[in-house]
């Protein structure tokens, strides 16, 4: 009996603690324009959802009150599951419709940051999206080659290699970061791509979307069929020419136009 | 003291009950391909997120195990907050960049189902997206004119009228539903649109996306500037010609290509 009571009390304490930990984020935060009473979690979740729906664009920082919510998401199991599902859909797409050709001209495009390599370790040390981006500091971090592999993307990357699909890495990183970028990619296990395309000086005034669309245009005029693109930013996958399918990984941390 | 203990016990009971209600959805559900141990909530949330990211397409029914999760979301405060945020972004877009012209040729396009009128009451009675759509039964319901107004969209609708923007309602509903559609819209408070464009017999073999893109093409050749589109399906807003901005409301209940 005493043991049962003990277990019951332990469960009670766990529930109470976990409930109180969420209390701050769950209690009433504000009333919306239409009169809905919402919690901070409601607010931040709707912000994140509308970022992923691409209704909210061009933000420079995460709303200050949502920084800890976004930090929690980006380091959660949910972020991993969401990303893994995106990659599973890529693999499913590759398995259907006999899309592979026999002329070795099939191509797939990957973004790098937060598609192959996680920048979460950087943002963890730098305000988690709540501070305006300091390009110099981010580039310093990149040149240390400390980006960690996103495991789900590694699975797709290796699958594409097995299928004989040409892999193109198209990133907004600048040319002077080529060497640490290659080191970082190879070090964590990404190798065997066809080409790594970074922003040269002539591309610096272009938007990321414009630069990436031009790259696709060149690939197509070189005879490649772009089976798919996967990126964490809409600017990596929107614009013409496009691919047979595009896939957007979740990433509310920052916005690249 | 006794009162304090009573309050403490009441809080304990509330916490325990609410925690147990979530227990089923929170306990370990499965291990993903990559070895992540996830709950059913993780799984269904990643499904919903990837639907909204447009990575998952052409689904006929919601995964059976997620029907109650989706039902909960579609009747939640979170769904309302998510939708309201989408509409707030539309209103913000209208307030910026001096986008309004002076020739009364500004236009805005609305979808109807789950953009102006909610079909949730129908799906509530019909398996909540877990059953294959029965078109006859849905059209029967539509012809009863029981769709409820989505309040946030009403706010945008009335704001556009005040601004003197032409409102076009472009829906995949068929022509024979014109009369109950108008009755339903007016009854709940939507009136004063410029044109209601439904699918005629000649459009029945077209995809929703193809049909809606053609409508936009005609509007543009009639001299209209489409300032924005808001819809709950990607097929309402994707394809060319487009609008200055497009806005996607959340809706994981069903998929229209």
- For B120-142, the pLDDT digits (tens) are 999 999 999 999 999 999 999 99
Residue A179: both structure tokens together: 């060497």
pLDDT digit string, tens, across residues A27-75: 889 999 889 999 999 999 999 999 999 999 999 999 999 999 999 999 9
Helix (H/G/I), strand (E/B), else coil: B11: helix
Q: How far apart are CA A142 and CA A171, in angstroms?
A: 13
Taking the CA of residue B137 and the nearest CA in chain A, the distance in Å comes to: 30
Q: Which residue has the tokens 């994140």?
A: A48
pLDDT of residue B98: 81
Q: At residue A8, does pLDDT exceed 90? A: no
- Provide the CB-side half-sphere exposure for B71 (13 A, CA): 18
* Neighboring chain B residues of A152 at a CB cutoff of 8 Å: 34
Residue A116: both structure tokens together: 């192959």
pLDDT of residue B81: 97
**Domain residue ranges in chain A:** 38-248
Test A52 with B49 for CB contact under 8 angstroms: yes
Cβ neighbours of A226 (radius 10 Å): 20
Q: How far apart are CA B5 and CA B10, in angstroms?
A: 9
List phi, psi (to 5°) of A3: -65, -45
Residue among A77, A97, A22 at smallest CA distance from B29: A77
Q: Please name the member of A36, A248, A250 whose beta carbon is closest to the beta carbon of B77.
A: A36
Q: How far apart are CA A82 and CA A49, in angstroms?
A: 13
Q: Which residue has the tokens 């809905």?
A: A36
pLDDT digit string, tens, across residues A112-134: 999 999 999 999 999 999 999 99
Test A34 with B84 for CB contact under 8 angstroms: yes
* Pair A110, A170: CB distance under 8 Å: yes
Test A49 with B82 for CB contact under 8 angstroms: yes
- Is A239 an 8 Å CB contact of chain B? no
Q: In CATH, what number does B38-248 get? A: 3.40.50.1000
Taking the CA of residue A48 and the nearest CA in chain B, the distance in Å comes to: 9
In chain B, what is the straight-line distance between the N-terminal and C-terminal CA atoms, in Å? 63
* Pair A31, A25: CB distance under 8 Å: no
pLDDT digit string, tens, across residues A215-225: 999 999 999 99
In chain A, what is the straight-line distance between the N-terminal and C-terminal CA atoms, in Å? 63
Test B38 with A81 for CB contact under 8 angstroms: yes
- pTM (predicted TM-score): 0.91
Segments in chain B below pLDDT 50: none
Q: pLDDT averaged over chain B?
A: 93
List phi, psi (to 5°) of B50: -75, -25
pLDDT of residue A250: 98
- Is B96 an 8 Å CB contact of chain A? no
Cβ-Cβ contacts under 8 Å for B222 (sequence gap 6 or more): none
């Amino acid at each position: 009996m005493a043991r049962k009571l003990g277990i019951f009390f332990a469960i009670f304490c766990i529930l109470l603690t976990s409930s109180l930990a969420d209390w701050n984020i769950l209690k009433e935060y504000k009333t919306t324009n239409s009169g809905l009473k919402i919690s901070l979690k409601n607010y931040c979740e709707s912000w994140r959802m509308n970022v992923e729906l691409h209704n909210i664009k061009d933000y420079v920082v995460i709303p200050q009150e949502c920084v800890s919510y976004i930090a929690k998401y980006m380091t959660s199991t949910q972020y991993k599951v969401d990303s893994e599902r995106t990659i599973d859909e890529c693999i499913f797409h590759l398995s259907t419709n006999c899309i592979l050709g026999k002329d070795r001209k099939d191509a797939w495009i990957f973004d790098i940051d937060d598609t192959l390599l996680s920048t979460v370790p950087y943002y963890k040390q730098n305000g988690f999206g709540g501070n305006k981006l300091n390009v110099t500091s981010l580039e310093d971090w990149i040149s240390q080659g400390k980006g960690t592999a996103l495991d789900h993307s590694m699975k797709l990357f290796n699958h594409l290699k097995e299928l004989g699909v040409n892999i193109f890495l198209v990133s907004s990183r600048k040319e002077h970061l080529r060497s640490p970028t290659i080191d970082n990619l190879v070090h964590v296990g990404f190798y065997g791509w066809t080409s790594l395309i970074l922003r040269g000086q002539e591309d610096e005034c272009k938007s990321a979307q414009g630069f990436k669309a031009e790259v696709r245009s060149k690939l197509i005029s070189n005879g490649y069929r772009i089976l798919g693109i996967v990126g964490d930013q809409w600017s990596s996958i929107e614009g013409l020419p496009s691919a047979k399918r595009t896939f957007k990984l979740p990433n509310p941390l920052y916005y690249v136009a």
